[in-house]
Structures are given as C-alpha cells and as structure tokens.
Structure 1
Amino acid sequence: MGNDINVVFMGKFGYPSGMASTKRIQHFLDYLNVLSTTTRVLQLRSTDEGADEEQAGSYLGTEYRRIGADLKLDRSLVPALYRYLKEGVDSLKRWRIPGGRNVLYSYGGVTLENVLFILAAKRLGYLVIFDIVEDNTFIEDKLSLPGKIRWLAGEVLDRFFLGLADGVVVISNYLRGLYGKKLAASVPLCLIPISARCAVENRPGREPGPMRIVYAGSFAKKDGIDQLLDAFETVQQKKGNCTLMLCGTGASVKLYQPRIAANPAIQYIGYLDDSAFYRFLLGADVLCVTRTGSTYANAGFPFKLGEYLATGNPVIVSDVGDVRRYLSHMEDAIIVEPGNVSAIAGALEYCLDHPETVAKIGLSGADKCKRYFNPAANGSLLLQLIRKL
C-alpha cells in the first residue's frame, strides 16, 4: 500500500529518544512503517536529551542521521557549517527513491537550520510538507541573542518561503485559521492533533501515602510552573497529605531549583527515558497541565495532555487552545482558568477531597483520548494528505 511512498522527517528534535516533538514524529513513523512505506529521519543539530546518541543508525525500521552536533559559534563554525550542509544535502540525495513519491516532512516549518535543505529537496523533486505546532510570533521566554536572531529569521523565512510547501499540517484550530489565511487555496491544509497510546490497563493500584501530583514536560514560561508551585504550596499548607513531583528538562529548570530545594514536599525527578517516564505518569494520582493564558500557549496544543489522559489518571488542565473542543469540564478533566492560582489550588483540593469522583473523571478522559488522539487515526490523516499531493 505504501511501497511507492518515501518520507524523510526532518527537524530539530531528539531521535530516537526525546520529548513531545520526537513522540509526534515516532507515532507517524510507526503507522507508515506498518504499511511498508519507506521512512527516514534527518535530525538537525543536537538536543539536550539526545546528545549522547549515535550520529546514524536504524530504529524500529527507520534509518536516521544526526547532523550539526559540532556547530559552535567559534573559529570552527565555517568548516562545521560546510559539513552540516553537505551531510544534509547528501542524505536527501541518497535517500531519494527514483520514480517514488518522495516527501520531506519539515517539523516546525521553515527555519534558519533547514531552509537550504528545503530548497535542495525541492530541486531533487521532493514534495514538502510543513508541520506547524506553534506560533512563535508570541513567544514569551527571554531569548539569547542567537535565539532572537533565529526567531526573527523564522518570521521572515515563514513569510517568504511558505510558498515552497506542497502541504501543511497544523496541530490546532488556531493555527489552521492562521495558516488558512497565509496559504494559497491550492495547498492542502490538514489539522492533525496530538496523539497518545492509552495505557489504562497497565495502571498500578493506588499506593498508600500522600497524593502524588505530577507535572512532566518543559519548564518554559507558557507552562505555568510558577502558578502550579503557588497553588500546590497553598493546598499543602492548608491540607497537607500531598507531594508535587516535577519531571522534564529545559534551560529554565534552574530558575525553580531554589524553590524546589526549600520545600521537601516538592521533588524534581529530572529527565527520564521513555519506559521510566511512562511508569512515572502511570504512578501519579493527579496530572497537571497548567498553562498560562498567553496567545503563544493558546496557539499550540500541549502534547503532554494526551500522554496524561492516556494513563486514565485524573488531569487538571488549563482552558487553552482546543482543550474544550475535545474535553468537558468535570467529565473528562478538571478544566481551570489559565494562570489562576486559586482555580488550580481549588482543583487540587477537590482531588484530595473526592478521590473516587476524580478517578471516574480520569477514566472518562482516557476514553476521549482513544477517540480523538489515536495515533493510527492521525497516521491515516497524514497518509491521506501525502496521497493528495
């Protein structure tokens, strides 16, 4: 069914291990590989969680290559940049299947890191799909000078090179509306939401002890860590019998370390590999996605929400983006006002006081996850888009 299709997934994400972006790509790969589609991964530059991985290899039937790990702003930049560009273009040439439907799937759209590869792919006859998961116009985190340059360049590149896309995938209705205005009517635009595999049957029984409240993910401003910490400390002082466990990575983690160290009821677990990470989520009593109400937070859609719902554990989630498109308050999740510390604290207190009720909410959330965030359904949407091009 998919023998004539050859898809190269390209982006600055960890591979084969990594966080949200990696998992989104892996779910697409799993679906396509079952259909005997040829798949490859071209990972651009190193990432924190993938820094020790091999530069090339094969994972679950997909050949991958990592390039640009040696790019640094020093005297070695020019030769390293030459190697980066040559290795990337050579990979696209080598991976191209004559007479096949060759597709370059660019996670994140057009960036400084990938624009020359996109141009090269077009010359080689690849069809190009952009996967847009954020609106970086409204990014809130303080950026370094190189970060500011990349952000500004991304805005310019998006404006002038969007026409290279043969198709566009977006993760939210906000982004569908935004890119629907930017794209030519002839370019297919497809909404493919987050995906997660349900693991309710693997959920361990409730262990005695304090209620385990869990946050796992990045520690960016949009993630509302400050508000979650404030709410937790309010409930802890009032009720006790709860712990907050934080898992993940990111440059901003160090900002929260003094506060974590000052409260024995707050634990920072660090970065976990996939198997340990999912065991960690399954062992939670309550999972939190307490995003801020910024435009940036509303534009995307938190991948971790799907992973949380998939456990069958109760979820507290901020009312951002498409959340209410899929979930109902107090039926499938506890939905709170974004950035509202009192609302988060109230939700945590409710979980402490009504464990049986919130357990039912968690199971209903898992049912919604199966219905709306099925990796096979999302993979089918991508394959349908590819066949339209």
Structure 2
Amino acid sequence: MGNDINVVFMGKFGYPSGMASTKRIQHFLDYLNGLSTTTRVLQLRSTGENVGKEEAGNYLGTEYRRVGVDLKLDRFLVPALWRYLKQGIGALKGWHIRGGRNVLYSYGGVTLESVLFILAAKRLGYLVIFDIVEDNTFIDDKLSLPGKIRWAAGEILDRFFLGLADGVVVISNYLKELYARKVATSVPLVLIPISARCAGEDRPGREPGPMKIVYAGSFAKKDGIDQLLDAFEKVQEKKGNCTLMLCGTGASVKLYQPRIAANPAIQYIGYLEDRAFYRFLLGADVLCVTRTGSTYANAGFPFKLGEYLATGNPVIVSDVGDVRRYLSHMEDAIIVEPGSVSAIAGALEYCLDHPETAAKIGRSGADKCKRYFDPDANGNLLMQLIRRL
C-alpha cells in the first residue's frame, strides 16, 4: 500500500529518544512503517542528554542519521558547516528513490538549520511538507544572541521560503488560520493535533501516601512553572498531604533548582527514557499542564496534554489554544485560568478533597484522548495528505 512512498523526516529534534517533537514524529513513523512505507530521519544538530549517542543507526525499522553535532561558533565553524551540508545533502541524495514518491517532512517549517536542505531536496525531486507546531513571532522566553539570530532568521525564511511547501501540517486551529493566510490556496493545509496511545485497563491503582502531583516536560516560560510552584506551596502549607514531582529537561531547569532544594516536598526527577517516563506518569495522582496565557502558549498545543490524558489520571490544564475544542471542564479535565496561581491551587485542593470525582474525570479524559488524539488516525491524515501531493 505504501511501498512506493519514501518519507524523510527532518528537524532539530532528538532521535530515537527525545521529548514532544520526537514523540510526534515517532507516532507518524509507526503508522507509515505499518503500511510498508520507506521512512528515514535526518536529525539536525540536536545535542544533549535526551539525544542518542550514535550518529547513525536504525530504530524500529527507520534508518536515521544525525548531522552537525560539531557545529559551534569557533574557529572550526567553516569546515564543520561544510561537513554538515555535505553529510545532510548526501543523505538526501542517497535516500532518494528513483520512480518513488519522495517526501521531505520538515518539522518546524523553514529554519536556518534546514533551509539549504529544503532547497536541495526540491532540486532532487522531493515533495516538501512543513509541520508547523508553534508561532515564534510571539516567543516569550529570554533568548541568547544566537537564539535571537535564529528567531529573526526564522521569521524572514518563513516569509520568503514558505512557497517551497507542497503541503503544510499544523497542530492547532490558531496556526491553521494563520497559515491559511500565508500559503497559496492550491497548497493543502491539514490540521493534525497531538497524539497519544492510551494505557488501557492494566494501569496500576493508586498507591497510599501523599497525593503525587506531577509536571513533566520543558521548563520554558510558557510552561508556567513559577505559577505551579506557587500554587503547590500554597496548598501544601494549607492542607499538607501532597508532593510535587518535576520531570524533564531544559536550559531553564537551573533557575528552579534553589526553590526545589528548599522544599523537601518538591522533587526534581530529571530526564527519563520512554519506559520509565510512562511508568512515572501512570504513577501520578494528578498531572498538570499549567501554561501561561501568552500568545505563544495559545498558538501551539501542548503535546504532554495527550500523554497525560492517556494515563487515565486526572489532569489540570490551563485554558489555552484548542483545549476547550476537545475537553469539557470538570468532565474530562479540570480547566483553569492561564497563569492564575489561585485557580491552580483551587484545582489541586479539589483533587485532594474529592479523589473519587477526580478519578472519574481522569477516566473521561482518557476516553476523549482515544477519540481525538489517536496516533493511527493522525497517521492516516498524514498519509492522505501525502497521496494528495
């Protein structure tokens, strides 16, 4: 069914292990590989604890290659940049299948890291799909100088190279409306939301002891970690009987370390590999997606919300973006005002005082996850788009 199709997923994400972006790509790969589609991954410049140590390999039937690990702003930049381009373009050439439908799936659209590879892919005969998952126009984190340069360049590249797209995928209705104004009407534009595979009926029961409140993900400003910590400390002081467990990684983690160290009821777990990560989520009593109300937070759609709902545990989520398109307050999740410490604290207190009702909300959230965020349904949407190109 899919053996005439060859899809190369490209972007600055960890592979084969990683966080939200990696998991989004992996769900697509799982579906396409089930159709005997040829799949590859070209990973651009990703480094860090959540990235595989090997620069090339095969994972679950997908060949992958990582390029640009040695790119740094030093005297070796020019030769490193040459190797980066040579290796990346060489991979695209080697992976191109003569007579097949070759597709380059560029996660994040056009960036400084990807633009020359996109141009090369077009010359080689690839069809190009851009996957847009955020609106960086409104990024609200403080950026380093290189970060500011990449951000500004991304805006310019998006404006001038968006016309290279044969198809566009977006993760939210905000982005769908934004890119409907940017791309030609002849270019297919498809909304493919987050995805998560539900845990099923074999998930563990609640363990005795303090209520375990969990946040897992990045520690960027949009994630509202300050507000979550404030709310937790407020509830802990008033009621006790709760712990806050933080999992994930990011440059901003160090900003919270003194506060975490000062409160024994707050634990930082660090980065967990997939199996340990999902066991960690399953063991939670309450899961929190407490985003701020910024335009940047509203533009995307938190991938971790799907992972949380999939556990069947109750979820406290800020009212951002598409949340209310899929979930109802106090039925499928506890939806709170973005950035409101009192609203988060009130939701945490409710879960402490009404554990049975909270558990019922969690089970309903899992049902909504199956309905709206099924990885196979999302994979089918992508395959339909590829066949339209």
What is the TM-score when the length of structure 2 is the normalising length? 0.99
Displacement of 1:202 after TM fit? Answer: 3.2
- What secondary structure sits across from 1:316 in the alignment? strand
Displacement of 1:115 after TM fit? Answer: 0.2
Aligned partners of 1:213 and 1:288 also within 8 Å? yes
Hey, what's the Cα distance between the residues in 1 that align with 2:140 and 2:192? 25
Displacement of 1:320 after TM fit? Answer: 0.2
Hey, what's the Cα distance between the residues in 1 that align with 2:49 and 2:381? 29
Instruction: Determine the structure 1 residue equivalent to 2:261.
Output: 261
Instruction: Determine the structure 2 residue equivalent to 1:386.
Output: 386
Instruction: Determine the structure 2 residue equivalent to 1:40.
Output: 40
Over 6 Å off, 4+ runs: none
Displacement of 1:171 after TM fit? Answer: 0.0
Counterpart residue type for residue 331 of structure 2? E
Counterpart residue type for residue 223 of structure 2? D
Q: What does the per-residue CA deviation read over 1:187-223, in whole Å, with 9 as the maximum and x for residues that have no partner?
A: 0000000000000423211111000000000000000
Hey, what's the Cα distance between the residues in 2 that align with 1:183 and 1:354? 48
Displacement of 1:50 after TM fit? Answer: 3.9
Instruction: Determine the structure 2 residue equivalent to 1:104.
Output: 104
- What secondary structure sits across from 1:202 in the alignment? coil
Counterpart residue type for residue 198 of structure 1? C
Q: What does the per-residue CA deviation read over 1:49-89, in whole Å, with 9 as the maximum and x for residues that have no partner?
A: 34452000000000000000011111111100000000000
Displacement of 1:103 after TM fit? Answer: 0.1
- What secondary structure sits across from 2:53 in the alignment? coil
Match runs of 1:340-355 below 5 Å: 340-355=340-355
Aligned partners of 1:175 and 1:300 also within 8 Å? yes
Hey, what's the Cα distance between the residues in 2 that align with 1:119 and 1:49? 31
- What secondary structure sits across from 2:201 in the alignment? helix
Hey, what's the Cα distance between the residues in 1 that align with 2:200 and 2:352? 21
Hey, what's the Cα distance between the residues in 1 that align with 2:66 and 2:202? 34
Unaligned runs of 5+ in 2: none
Instruction: Determine the structure 1 residue equivalent to 2:329.
Output: 329
Q: What does the per-residue CA deviation read over 1:138-169, in whole Å, with 9 as the maximum and x for residues that have no partner?
A: 00110000000000000000000000000000
Hey, what's the Cα distance between the residues in 2 that align with 1:245 and 1:277? 12
Counterpart residue type for residue 231 of structure 1? A
Residue 287, structure 1, aligned to residue 295, structure 2: no
Hey, what's the Cα distance between the residues in 1 that align with 2:47 and 2:65? 14
Displacement of 1:260 after TM fit? Answer: 0.3
Hey, what's the Cα distance between the residues in 1 that align with 2:347 and 2:37? 45
Range moving further from structure 2, 162-171 or 51-60: 51-60
Instruction: Determine the structure 1 residue equivalent to 2:23.
Output: 23
- What secondary structure sits across from 1:365 in the alignment? helix
Displacement of 1:5 after TM fit? Answer: 0.3
- What secondary structure sits across from 1:325 in the alignment? helix
Counterpart residue type for residue 70 of structure 1? D
Match runs of 1:216-255 below 5 Å: 216-255=216-255
Structure 1 residues 297 and 29: alpha-carbon distance in aligned structure 2, compared to 1, 3 A threshold: same
Counterpart residue type for residue 111 of structure 2? T
Residue 367, structure 1, aligned to residue 367, structure 2: yes
Counterpart residue type for residue 39 of structure 1? T
Q: What does the per-residue CA deviation read over 1:307-328, in whole Å, with 9 as the maximum and x for residues that have no partner?
A: 0000000000000000000000
- What secondary structure sits across from 1:361 in the alignment? helix
Displacement of 1:47 after TM fit? Answer: 2.7
- What secondary structure sits across from 2:160 in the alignment? helix
Aligned partners of 1:5 and 1:38 also within 8 Å? yes
Hey, what's the Cα distance between the residues in 2 that align with 1:177 and 1:49? 36
Hey, what's the Cα distance between the residues in 1 that align with 2:142 and 2:97? 43
Q: CA RMSD in A?
A: 0.6
Displacement of 1:264 after TM fit? Answer: 0.4
Counterpart residue type for residue 270 of structure 1? G
Aligned partners of 2:172 and 2:191 also within 8 Å? yes
Hey, what's the Cα distance between the residues in 2 that align with 1:46 and 1:351? 39
Hey, what's the Cα distance between the residues in 1 that align with 2:202 and 2:3? 35
Counterpart residue type for residue 152 of structure 1? A
Aligned partners of 2:17 and 2:52 also within 8 Å? no
Displacement of 1:48 after TM fit? Answer: 1.7
Hey, what's the Cα distance between the residues in 2 that align with 1:35 and 1:52? 26
Aligned partners of 1:200 and 1:366 also within 8 Å? no
- What secondary structure sits across from 2:118 in the alignment? helix
Counterpart residue type for residue 70 of structure 2? D
Instruction: Determine the structure 2 residue equivalent to 1:78.
Output: 78
Structure 1 residues 200 and 236: alpha-carbon distance in aligned structure 2, compared to 1, 3 A threshold: farther
What is the TM-score when the length of structure 1 is the normalising length? 0.99
Q: What does the per-residue CA deviation read over 1:76-122, in whole Å, with 9 as the maximum and x for residues that have no partner?
A: 11100000000000000000000000000000000000100000000
Q: Percent identity?
A: 88
Q: What does the per-residue CA deviation read over 1:327-383, in whole Å, with 9 as the maximum and x for residues that have no partner?
A: 000000000000010000000000000000000000000000000000000000000
Hey, what's the Cα distance between the residues in 2 that align with 1:148 and 1:200? 43
Hey, what's the Cα distance between the residues in 2 that align with 1:15 and 1:295? 29
Counterpart residue type for residue 168 of structure 1? V
Counterpart residue type for residue 280 of structure 2? F
Hey, what's the Cα distance between the residues in 1 that align with 2:219 and 2:70? 26
Residue 63, structure 1, aligned to residue 69, structure 2: no
Q: What does the per-residue CA deviation read over 1:31-56, in whole Å, with 9 as the maximum and x for residues that have no partner?
A: 00000000000000023234452000
Hey, what's the Cα distance between the residues in 1 that align with 2:233 and 2:304? 23
Instruction: Determine the structure 1 residue equivalent to 2:211.
Output: 211
- What secondary structure sits across from 2:72 in the alignment? coil
Instruction: Determine the structure 2 residue equivalent to 1:148.
Output: 148
Aligned partners of 1:12 and 1:47 also within 8 Å? no
Unaligned runs of 5+ in 1: none
